[in-house]
Amino acid sequence: MATDAEKRIIELEQQIAILQDTSRQSNLVRKRYQDALAVLKEKDLALKKSNQRIEKDFDTLKRMQQELVEKEKMAALGLLVAGVAHEVNTPIGVAITSISTCNEAIRHLKKLYRAEDLSENDLEMFLETADESVRLVRESLDQAVRLIRSFKQISVDQNIDDIRQFDVCEYLSDIIRTFRSQLKKTKIQIDIECRQGMMVKTYPGSLAQILNNLLANVINYAYSPGQQGKVLIRVDLENDQLHLLFADEGKGMEEGIKERAFQPFVTTGRDKGGSGLGLNIVYNLVTQRFGGQIKLESQKGAGSRFFITLVVMVPG
Ligand SMILES: Nc1ncnc2c1ncn2[C@@H]1O[C@H](COP(=O)(O)OP(=O)(O)OP(=O)(O)O)[C@@H](O)[C@H]1O
Ligand SMILES: [Mg+2]
């Protein structure tokens, strides 16, 4: 018969066994928990690493993209510089040839004069040559100056134009008015469709430049001299977007010109002094100065339409 004390010992031993078992189990749970934690930590580390890698890749991509944009800009600039050099080369070349001719004529005149062999006919011939040479030099230099002035306008940043608040319709009418003397020589009629009192706050000089270049093209290219013609300028303001339609009903453009019309140096009027910069300047102003868009529809014999959207501020 077990004594009470022995019973108590057995009981205690059983309790100890249970406790030991529980402790083993909790050790097991702790171990599992620690293992899981370790796995999680590893995963977390791996995630952090892959995050860092993605961030680095993204930075590299961003840098590469910036470099590409810069490279494209440089390539475009390179083409432009080559174009400028090519265009200016012609008038400067003509000027140099004319000066050389004049120089030669002076040398010949001097020789005859010193030999006391100068006839009236010689002198007249000299004066004619000198006159013609000087005229050519002046015209060529004028052309070079015109070209350089246009090149300067290509770069939007170089045109300082202060933002001002104005009534679009009134302002457009003012611009058209400055063309009155040129339009008088033609039979071109201009209609403006515009709601009165449309106030905007934007770049007036650049807007005028856009209209000027488009109007100059209508006068130079859309209609033959003396031909009746029409231009429609329709203006609409929708929130901060100023929509301009500029349409003529004239000759339109050949497909090959239309496709490249906004590129610099594309012109069909080189003989009339065109340098092919007008629409390039319009494009740069619309997209860079106004953050807008321009679309051209034109067909030979069916007129030309420019759809322009400018981002402006609307006061009040
Ligand atoms: N309204 C139009 N109708 C018909 N052809 C046009 C019209 N506007 C432009 N063009 C064509 O697009 C070409 C390019 O025009 P752009 O204004 O860029 O150059 P340009 O007028 O020839 O020279 P610049 O403007 O430098 O004096 C013109 O030479 C002409 O062939
Ligand atoms: Mg032009």
- What would the pLDDT profile of 216-267 be if each residue is shown by its tens digit? 999 999 999 999 999 999 999 999 999 999 999 999 999 999 999 998 889 9
pLDDT of 157 > 70? The answer is no
The average pLDDT across 29-33 equals 93
**How far is the centre of ligand 1, averaged over its atoms, from the C-alpha of 71 (Å)?**
29
Q: Which of 179, 279, 294 to mutate to test the pocket of ligand 1 (most atoms within 8 A of CB)?
A: 279
pLDDT at position 24 is 93
CB atoms inside a 10 Å sphere around CB 293: 14
pLDDT of 72 > 80? The answer is no
The average pLDDT across 25-47 equals 94
pLDDT band at 273 (very low <50, low <70, confident <90, very high): confident
Which ligand minimizes its atom distance to the CA of 275?
A: 1
The average pLDDT across 112-134 equals 95
In the chain, what percentage of residues exceed pLDDT 70?
97
pLDDT at position 34 is 94
pLDDT at position 19 is 93
In the chain, what percentage of residues exceed pLDDT 90?
69
Distance CA 28, CA 9 (A): 28
pLDDT of 174 > 90? The answer is no
222 lines ligand 1 (CB under 6 A): yes
188 lines ligand 1 (CB under 6 A): no
pLDDT of 136 > 90? The answer is yes
Atom of ligand 1 nearest to the CA of 262: 18
**How far is the centre of ligand 2, averaged over its atoms, from the C-alpha of 71 (Å)?**
29
- Please name the residue ranges forming H helices in 115-250: 120-154, 168-178, 180-184, 204-217
> Would the CA dihedral through 13, 18, 22, 27 be positive or negative?
positive
267 lines ligand 1 (CB under 6 A): yes
154 lines ligand 1 (CB under 6 A): no
Please state the pTM of the whole predicted model.
Answer: 0.68
253 lines ligand 1 (CB under 6 A): yes
Q: Are 278 and 211 in contact (CB under 8 A)?
A: no
Distance CA 248, CA 245 (A): 10
Which ligand minimizes its atom distance to the CA of 229?
A: 1
**How far is the centre of ligand 1, averaged over its atoms, from the C-alpha of 248 (Å)?**
13
Higher pLDDT, 152 or 96: 96
Please give the biggest Cα pair distance in the chain: 167
Identity of the residue numbered 59: D
pLDDT at position 130 is 95
The average pLDDT across 64-83 equals 77
What are the residues facing 232 on neighbouring strands?
191, 247
pLDDT band at 79 (very low <50, low <70, confident <90, very high): confident
pLDDT band at 132 (very low <50, low <70, confident <90, very high): very high
pLDDT at position 53 is 94
pLDDT of 123 > 90? The answer is yes
pLDDT of 70 > 90? The answer is no
pLDDT of 201 > 80? The answer is yes
